[in-house]
Structure 1
Amino acid sequence: MAEFATIVTIMPNDYRPLVVIIAYDQLCTFEFGCAFEVFGLSRPEMGPGWYRCRTAAVEPEPIRGAGGLRLETDGGLELLEAADTIVIPGWRGPTAAGPERLLDALRRANAAGTRIVAICGGAFLLAQAGLLEGKRATTHWRHLDALSSRYPEIVVERDALYVDEDDILTSAGSAAGLDLCIHIVRKDFGAKAANSVARRLVVAAHRDGGQSQFIERSLPPPSGARLSNLLEAVQRRIGEKWTIERMAAEAHVSVRTLHRHIREATGLAPGDWLQRQRLAYARDLLEETTLSIKEVTVRAGFGTTTNFRQHFRAASGLSPATFRARFHLRQDTLGQSADCSDMNTSGGGASI
């Protein structure tokens, strides 16, 4: 992409994490495409240190995908042994058994500390491998009951786009897998890198994993238009004092109506939605600026630093200062052009 004049330096060394995406017959091509789009495409704007990506075939080729496509892979399950992250892009169905050699490979990878990511129905493979016992997980909303009934030892999160259990991550259906992949970029390389990838994809840079998977019904006009304008206004002026009464007045609706519409639109009560927006903005400021904690508190609208620290720790498990020390140092300066000759990550395979 010649239009990128600058790059984001994302690693202080030359190591490039290896992501291996599993490919299987009857492949869910959308889920596969989400993973490859984030981890497999050449991204010269990221400079050295970006992911390497390989595809690993579960069965002998040819691998057929939805829509009649055929996939050439980079190798077999032996590729999982060197992976830093393994992605399971969906699966053949909730009742489809995973090959024992695949389940064994996943167990070995987990034991070795490899991060494993399951998009949509991929959670059923992790469950079959016994890797979700005692853990929180999610999957497509149509299959939540099946996951819960067949594997009662799993803590199934029903209202989540994705669930991060550190070494095991799961997402809801299809597009939520894209949210999860961008979340992983954010974890690995920080907000600047995640924002850059999201901008290329023309999607939201950060959708919190705890959002509802789906909305039962759309908002009726004109309330929907007014609500949309309100939410945008709040996000633009997040540092201001936004009471529920003020929000309702700005939308020209009653407090009760505001509660109903925001919950229908976001799956959250107005106060919870506002709190998440403040926390997301504060995370960006901590990662991308050198503003003091007090200034971040003010700009994000938390009132007092004590209040900010309490809410931030409850949401992230870290104090603001610890979060900044851990992630701001991995945000790196904007530089000039980079040598992109090695940025095509999948040596000739992985094409559909």
Structure 2
Amino acid sequence: MMSALKLEQVSKRYGATQVIDELSLEIHRGEFIVLLGASGCGKTSLLRMVAGLEEVSGGRVFIDGKDVTLTHPGQRNVAMVFQHYALYPHMTVRDNLAFGLRNVRLKGDEIDRRIAESARMLELTELLNRKPGQLSGGQRQRVAIARAAVKAPAIFLFDEPLSNLDAALRSRTRVELARLHRRLGATMLFVTHDQLDAMTLATRIVVMNGGSIEQVATPVEVYRRPATRFVAGFIGTPAMNFIPVARCGVAAGFTVVRLPDGSLLTTCVPDQGLSAHAGGDGELSLGIRPENLYPAASGPLSGQVEAVEFLGERSLAVLTLADGSTVTVTLNGTRPAPGETITVAIDLREAHLFDAGGRAHHARVEIQ
């Protein structure tokens, strides 16, 4: 299958500053790919290079198998939706949608057909004769998306299009984008720093850090099988807990680690492969998500409750362990008081080990 977009060792420099360094990525037709990362990681620069709005310092960009590295933005068959709507304030919604189509000399009846179809999909039919100043923020964002849709591009490019919306409207617009993707079957590349956008919309997430790709995987894989400690800490709210441990042996093929209090714990992480990275008594981090820690009569971890955050159907408790480190535990039903000492067990099927280089080593279980 020919890829919709292929980036081949793409680099971007601003003077002496290297923003992206020989990054390669292949996106298949119909995928909804989300570039996720913190500010400054290079995700917007990457998007703009795909659009042709930024020059590529090195490498090549292919769209539908064609090398477009030096092609003018208007000839790339992509449509971009910006963070700021960039609508023409003196034009009606209809004219905003038609403007780009008229510039490429599309016939009037085809323009009308595309506008009617996009307006129907994005519930803008009743707003076509209004001007942007008469619309809400969410309506203006839908117009910006419709303006991209009428072009029937090979790839939709979204540059943080939801960041200016309030929480309720952001949630509704996510649903609209997911619905639009299903209806069009289009290839979409979406930039965001918000992991909820990524986890909701993406068929695959590209987690970026410092101009490089940390992991490319489905939302489930990124959450349950993070490739690196960075991904594990970046994805998830609250964040994954990391407990310093030392590798000190093997039991039935699985790695045995020493916890901060000196007790031993046999993990579900196969020792083969890990030993080469951790060495004899290598320092490791045990990574556990809060929902995989639970109160129990006996368990490997015990700590004092510092605070409890009530979230309705569940609570989050922050515990201080004997060595002074803290972990967050998800509680269902029980709500211990601050100052109380509780013992927690670990779902070892969902616990990970991270070596000194940040590489993840996972328990031997299948993702459901």
Do both share a fold (TM > 0.5)? no
Q: TM-score, normalised by structure 1?
A: 0.30
Q: TM-score, normalised by structure 2?
A: 0.29
Q: Which has the higher helix share?
A: 1
Q: Which has the higher strand share?
A: 2
Greater radius of gyration (CA): 2
